[in-house]
Structure 1
Amino acid sequence: MTAPIDGTCDPRFAPVRDAFAANFTERGEPGGAIALMVDGRLVCDLWGGWRDAAREKPWARETLVNFFSVGKAFTSLVALRLVERGALDLDAPAHRLWPEFGAHGKEAITLRHMLSHQAGLPAIRTDLPDGAMFNWSAMTAALAATPPWWEPGTAHGYHVNTFGYLVGELVRRASGRTVGQLLRDEVAGPLGADVHIGLPSTEHPRAAEFLWPSVLPERPEGDLPDGILMKWNTYWNPPGISGAGWVNSAEWRAAEIPSTNGHGTARGIARVYSALAAGGSIGGIDILSADMLAAAVEEQSFGPDRVLERESRFALGFQLPQAERPLGPNAQAFGHFGAGGSLGFCDPAARVAFGYVTNDMGPRWQNPRNKALLAAIYESLGG
C-alpha cells in the first residue's frame, strides 16, 4: 500500500518534499513528519505514512511521537534559562544544590560538565529493576551513589539516558519545578510549540506507535570489565531506560525522562528552533538572550567519545556539526539528533529551523532519511 503524504510545501522547497516522499518509497520510512521554517515562516509542513505497526492509521497533522534525544536540547534550554536568571551556575559544584551528590569522587562536577557530557556518569553502576526509570528519586539517588566512570572534566562520553536526570535534578532543586513543567510554561507554551517532556494523558490518543525492534541484545555473561559494563549499563540499566518494552505504554508517555521520552510534532520542534535561529527571540517571545545563546553553542567537548566509541562534539547540551555528521554546510548550525533519526536543528546563517520525527528505529549514526532531507533543504536554498 502506498504511504499517504499530506501537508503543504512552498514550491521553492519541492526538493524537500521529494526527499520526504522518497523516504517512504526508497528508504523504508513507515511514518513521520517534517517541518521547515525560514525567517520564522513555515515553508514546508509535511506528514505521511502510518502511525501504527498494522499500517491502518494514517499519520495526521497533529500526530506526535517519541523523539528521544531531541529532547536533550529542550532540557538544556530549560537549564540555561535558569542560568540566565542566576538560579543555576554553570561552574559551581553541583553538590551545593544537591548535597547527596557530592560524594564518591563527584565533588567537582558542575552543570557545565553535565551539559557537555563530561561528568563521567553515563551509567548507574548498581543494578536497578525494570521500571525504575519512572521513579525520579530512585534514579537520582542511584546517580548520587555512583562513582564517576572517569575523572570528570578529563574526557567526555555521551550520557544517553542519565543526562536528563542529572540536569533535571539541578533544575528541580533550583526552581522547584521539573524540566517538563518549565518547558511547558516557559518555552513550548509561549511559542505554541507542540513539544512535551511528560505527555498529558489527554494527548496520548495523538501519539504514534513507535516500532521498537523485537529482538533485544542479551547481557554478556559473567563479570564484565569496567568499560564494557559502563556501555551496557548506559543503555540497559534499568532494563527499560532506553524505552525497550515501555515506549508505547501510558506510563512511558506520561513520565518525565528528559533525555529520552520527549514527544512532539515536527512542527513543534521547528518552532522552538525558529526562536534560536533568530538569536533567541521570535515574535516578541524571548527564549534565551543573545549572550546566553552564544555561550550555549560554544564547543565544550570534541574528540573520542568513551560511550559511542567514535568522535562526538557537544556544546552546552546541543550537538554541533562534525565532518562525519554535518548539519548542512554552515559551521554555525546546532541541534540534536534522536534515536531513529529524528532531528531538531537550526542554522542561523541560513535563517533555517527544522524538525523531523519518525516512528521507526532506523540507523542512529548515519541515517539516510535525515541525510536526504538535509541535502534537499540546502539544495532548495541554493547552496
Structure 2
Amino acid sequence: VHGEINIHGTTANGWDFVRDLFKENFAQERDLGGSVAIYYQGRLVVDRYGGWFDQTRTKPYDNDTLQLVFSTTKGLVAVAAALCVQRGLLNYSELVTKYWPEYGQHGKENTTVADILSHRAGLPIDASPFERYLNWTAMIHTLEQQEPIWLPGTAHGYHALTYGWLAGELIRRVDPMRRSVGQFIRDEIATPIQIEFYIGLPSDQEYRVSPLDGLSSGNMTSNDSTTVSDNEFNDWRTHQAEIPAANGISNARSVARLYASLIGDVEDNKYKRILNEEILKQAIKSNTPQNEIDLVLNMSTRFGMGFRLMDESFPSLGPGVFGHNGFGGSIGFAAPTKMYNYWAQQQQQAMADYSRASRAPRVVVINERDPIKSAQKLVAWLDTHYPNHKIIQMARIKQNQRIYNRVVFQTAQGQRNMVVFDVNALYLNNMGTATEMFSNGTMVRISPGTGSTPTRMQVLY
C-alpha cells in the first residue's frame, strides 16, 4: 500500500461495516480510487470516498471527484423515458414510428418503444468509427438505415451503445422543447433533486473527472498481435458528447439519490419522488420471457424498460431490485422492499479478474478457418498455457465475415479469465472492422492489420 489509506466521508450508526469493507478494498489494493453511497428510507447513511485521483497518487479521490460510469448511465436514461411516460408524452406499448417516423424502414417498422428500452430492437451492434459516436445526428441516421439482426420483439440482446441513441432520440422527439437527452436530464431530473449526473459534461467540469486506468495498459500480446489501443473514453471530447448508453459522468451520492428518489421522497421530504408508483411498476416490470438467453451476452439477463432486473444478483434484498451496472466497476440500484439505494464506483487499476471487466480480453491468433482444426488448436493452446483449466463458456461467432471463438474459463488457481481466438487472421486484410460485446460487459472493436501492422483491438465500453 502506498502510504496511509485516505478514506473520508460519513457513515451513520449501524453502517460501519460498509466503511470497513470499503477501506479493505484499498488495503488490499483492489482499487485505486472510488466512492460509495447508500440511502436508506430516504436518508443518506453512507457517503464514503477515498484513494487516489489517478496513478500519480499525488491527488486524492475526494468528494469533488467525478467519474465516468459507463452503462450505469442506462439507468438514468430509463428514468428520463419513464418521466416522459408519466407526463403522457410517450407510451411503452406504442410503435416507435409514432414518435420517430424515419425509424420505420429496413424491417424496423413494427418496433415498439418497449422493444428499444428492453434491448429487443435487434440493433445491438454498430461498427461505426469512434469519431461518429460523438456526432448525434450521424448516429441517428446510421441507426435509421440499419437492418435488425433479429425480428424486433422476438428476442433480446444487450444494446451496449445503441440503446442510448435509440432511447435518447425517442426522448428528444417527444420533448415539446426538443432538448437533447442530456439537457432534458439536467433540467427535469438532475436540477430538481440537486444531483450531478452529466450526459454531455460542461467543459468547466473536466478537471474534476478521474481518468480511467487499466483499460489500455495491459501487455496483451500474442503471436506478435497487439490488441489494445489508447482509450477514447478519457478524451474530453467524449466527455462533452452525448453517448447516453455509456458516457455518463457522476459521483456516488448523486446516483444513490437518483435511485432513492424513484421509490420515495428523500432528505426529510426536501426532494420529491420523481416517478409515481404506477409508472415505476411499469418501468421495472420484466419484458424478458422467462429463461430467454441474451443473444449478445450469451447468458440469461432480464430487462424492464431500460433497467436491469437484479433479484438474482441480490436475493437478500427482497424482490423488485432494479438498476444498472457499468464497465469499470460502477453500479447503481434500488431495493424497494428494503427502501435501500446503493451506488459504488471504482477508478480501478488493471486487473486480471474479468468478472470485474477491467480490461479487454486477450486475443490469440489461430490461422485456421476449418472449425474442427481451429477447435483442436484452441484446446491445445489452453492446455499449454493454463493447465487444469475449467471452461465456463465457449461460443463460436461469425460476424461481419469474421469468425472467432470466445472462451471464458477458470484457471487452476480459481481465477476467471477470457481469451478470444481469432480463427481467420490470414483474411483480415480484406475485411472491414468488426465490433463485439463480450460476456463480461466489455465491448471492443477489432480492426484488420495490414502487412506488418498487427490486428488492433480497441476497448469501446
AA aligned to 1:309 is N
- The 8 Å contact of residues 93 and 113 in structure 2, kept in 1 or not, is answered as yes
TM-score of the pair, normalised by structure 2 = 0.70
Question: Partner letter of residue 73 of structure 1?
Answer: G
What residue number does 1:354 align with?
342
Query: Is the alpha carbon distance of 1:168 and 1:102 closer, same or farther for their aligned partners in structure 2, counting shifts above 3 Å?
Result: same
1:338–1:364 Cα contact (<8 Å) kept: no
Counterpart residue number, 1:269: 255
User: What SS does structure 1 have at the residue aligned with 2:279?
Assistant: helix
In the TM superposition, 1:248-267 aligns within 5 A as 248-267=234-253
Structure 2 residue aligned with 1:292:
279
Q: Which amino acid aligns with 1:339?
A: F
- Aligned residue for 1:105? 107
1: distance between equivalents of 2:351 and 2:282? Answer: 32
Mapping of 1:3-82 within 5 angstroms?
A: 3-26=5-28, 28-82=30-84
> Which stretch of the first structure deviates more once superposed, 175-184 or 355-364?
355-364
1:341 to 329, 351, 355: 329
Paired residue secondary structure (1:149): coil
Alignment gaps of 5+ in structure 2: 222-227, 359-461
Report the CA distance between 1:15 and its aligned residue. Answer: 0.9
Contact 2:233–2:239 (Cα < 8 Å) also in 1 = yes
Q: Which structure has more RCO (C-alpha within 8 Å, separation ≥ 6)?
A: 1
| Number of equivalences | 344
Return the match for 2:288 from 297, 301, 315.
301
SS at match of 1:314: coil
Do 1:199 and 1:254's aligned partners in 2 also have CA atoms closer than 8 Å?
yes
The 3-state SS of whatever aligns with 2:234 is coil
SS of structure 2 residue aligned to 1:75: helix
Query: Structure 1 pair 269/327, CA: closer, same or farther in 2 (3 Å)?
Result: farther
Give the 3 Å change call, closer, same or farther, for CA 285–113 of structure 1 in structure 2: same
Write the deviation string for residues 242-266 of structure 1: whole angstroms up to 9, x where unpaired. xx62111110111111000000010
Q: Aligned partners of 2:135 and 2:219: how far apart in 1? A: 23
What CA RMSD, in Å, does the superposition of the two structures yield over aligned residues? 2.5
Question: Residue by residue, what CA displacement relative to the aligned partner does 1:29-67 show, whole Å, maximum 9, x if unpaired?
Answer: 111000111111111110011111222211011101001
Equivalent residue, structure 2, for 1:154: 154
- Structure 1 or 2, whichever has the larger Rg, is 2
Contact 2:39 2:260 in 1 (8 A): yes
Residue of 217, 222, 246 corresponding to 2:232: 246
- Percent of aligned pairs with the same amino acid: 36
Aligned twin of 1:141 = 141
Kept in 2: contact 1:105–1:148 (CA 8 A) = yes
CA contact (8 A) 1:34 1:45 kept: yes
Deviation at 1:177, TM superposition (A): 1.1
Query: 1:114, 1:67 → 2: CA distance?
Result: 21
- Per-residue deviation, residues 339-381 of structure 1 (Å, max 9, x unmatched): 1120111111111111111223768984499xxxxxxxxxxxx
Give the drift of 1:96: 2.4
Indicate the SS of the match to 1:61. Answer: coil
Alignment match, 2:409:
none
**1:129-186 deviation per Cα after TM superposition (whole angstroms, max 9, x unaligned):** 2311001111111111111111111111111010000001111111101111111111
Once the two structures are superposed, what CA deviation does each residue of 1:249-295 show, in whole Å capped at 9, x if it has no partner? 11011111100000001000011111123289953524112110111
- The answer to whether the 8 A contact 1:341-1:363 is kept is no
**Partner residue of 1:378?**
none
Deviation at 1:90, TM superposition (A): 1.3
Task: Tell me by how many angstroms 1:4 deviates.
Answer: 1.3
Change (3 A) 1:216 1:145: farther
CA 348–362 in structure 1, closer or farther in 2 if over 3 Å, else same? farther
The 3 A distance-change label for structure 1 pair 159 and 216 is farther
Deviations 1:190-242 (A, max 9, x none): 10112111111111111111114215989xxxxxxxxxxxxxxxxxxxx99xx
